[in-house]
């Protein structure tokens, strides 16, 4: 097989499907949560630092681009049942993230209904586009982006705790970060199948993703993006240092890839057997 794509490889497609079925069965058994019933909504902290609500709003906006994330990636992976069914399930889980963050912004009194209406209007006025066009490029991107998203939510939860806590928001961020970690886990398992099948092509897809990574929407689609990015950095939720340590270096270790391979030269690790 010259291409690492699953277009015509039944063995690879079978492996993707089995990974998805395990993921789905585990999610149904252990990871489902309910926006209305599982959050202690009466325990929002009215004195929480408003900078936290600003970041929650930013993350909510990023999650609101769901129609673009789902509608643009499905045609790219349509040939793969494992990847398509995963994205359908992924879309359901991601839809809860903007829903629950937006409910917290309202119930905590941090934002009004009118404000949220205007904010959503601004989000939907702009369109997110695929950062990579080939299926393998999008898989590498999704893997890295889900892990980075997990870090953003996990770190935000730690900052909330350090600033006096908010039991409702902490519970939300716990559910959401566990979802993001599960998404990352599945994308990584998918990517490793391709890496084992065609290391060169897989690394070629990974290189631009890791070398030029940006969180979706936040840099180019949201209004006041400079202020939003500065707030995320100021609270040390995500910045260049965290990216190098917890994303870039993390992936070199997690995928057993050398720095030289990431630069596109030097000795290549032999294919895993």
Residues that bind Fe ion (CB under 5 A): 94, 97, 146, 180, 183
Supply 249's token pair. Answer: 């270096």
Residue in the structure block whose two tokens are 């906006």: 61
Least gap, CB of 263 to Fe ion (angstroms): 29
Give CA separation, 154 vs 107, 127, 145, 175, in Å.
22, 27, 14, 10
Nearer of residues 80 and 152 to Fe ion, judged by Cβ: 152
Nearer of residues 13 and 94 to Fe ion, judged by Cβ: 94
Least gap, CB of 156 to Fe ion (angstroms): 12
Intra-chain end-to-end CA distance of the chain, in Å:
16
Least gap, CB of 260 to Fe ion (angstroms): 31
Nearer of residues 5 and 180 to Fe ion, judged by Cβ: 180
Least gap, CB of 105 to Fe ion (angstroms): 16
Q: Which H helix or E strand runs over 167?
A: helix 167-197
Left, alpha or beta for 130 (phi > 0: left; psi -120 to 50: alpha)? beta
Least gap, CB of 1 to Fe ion (angstroms): 29
Torsion, Cα 176 182 186 188, to 10 degrees, reads 90
Nearer of residues 12 and 119 to Fe ion, judged by Cβ: 119
Count other C-beta atoms under 10 Å from residue 130's C-beta.
Answer: 15
Least gap, CB of 201 to Fe ion (angstroms): 25
Nearer of residues 175 and 261 to Fe ion, judged by Cβ: 175
Nearer of residues 4 and 100 to Fe ion, judged by Cβ: 100
> Distance (Å, rounded) from C-alpha 103 to C-alpha 176?
14
> Distance (Å, rounded) from C-alpha 112 to C-alpha 115?
5
């Amino acid at each position: 097989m010259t291409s690492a794509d699953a277009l015509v490889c039944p063995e690879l497609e079978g492996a993707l499907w089995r990974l998805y079925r395990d993921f789905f069965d585990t999610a149904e058994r252990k990871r489902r949560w309910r926006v209305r019933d599982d959050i202690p909504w009466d325990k929002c902290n009215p004195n929480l630092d408003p900078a936290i609500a600003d970041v929650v709003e930013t993350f909510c906006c990023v999650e609101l681009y769901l129609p673009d994330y789902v509608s643009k990636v499905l045609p790219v992976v349509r040939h793969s049942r494992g990847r398509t069914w995963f994205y359908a399930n992924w879309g359901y889980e991601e839809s809860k993230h903007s829903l629950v963050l937006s409910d917290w912004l309202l119930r905590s009194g941090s934002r009004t209904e009118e404000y949220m209406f205007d904010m959503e209007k601004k989000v939907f006025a702009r369109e997110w586009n695929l950062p990579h066009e080939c299926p393998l490029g999008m898989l590498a991107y999704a893997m890295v982006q889900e892990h980075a998203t997990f870090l953003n939510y996990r770190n935000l939860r730690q900052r909330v705790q350090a600033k006096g806590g908010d039991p409702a928001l902490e519970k939300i961020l716990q559910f959401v970060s566990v979802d993001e970690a599960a998404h990352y886990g599945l994308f990584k398992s998918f990517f490793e199948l391709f890496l084992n099948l065609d290391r060169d092509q897989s690394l070629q897809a990974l290189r631009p993703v890791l070398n030029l990574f940006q969180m979706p929407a936040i840099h180019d689609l949201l209004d006041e993006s400079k202020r939003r990015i500065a707030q995320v950095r100021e609270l040390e939720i995500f910045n260049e240092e965290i990216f190098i340590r917890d994303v870039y270096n993390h992936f070199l270790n997690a995928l057993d890839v050398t720095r030289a391979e990431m630069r596109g030269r030097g000795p290549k690790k032999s294919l895993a057997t």
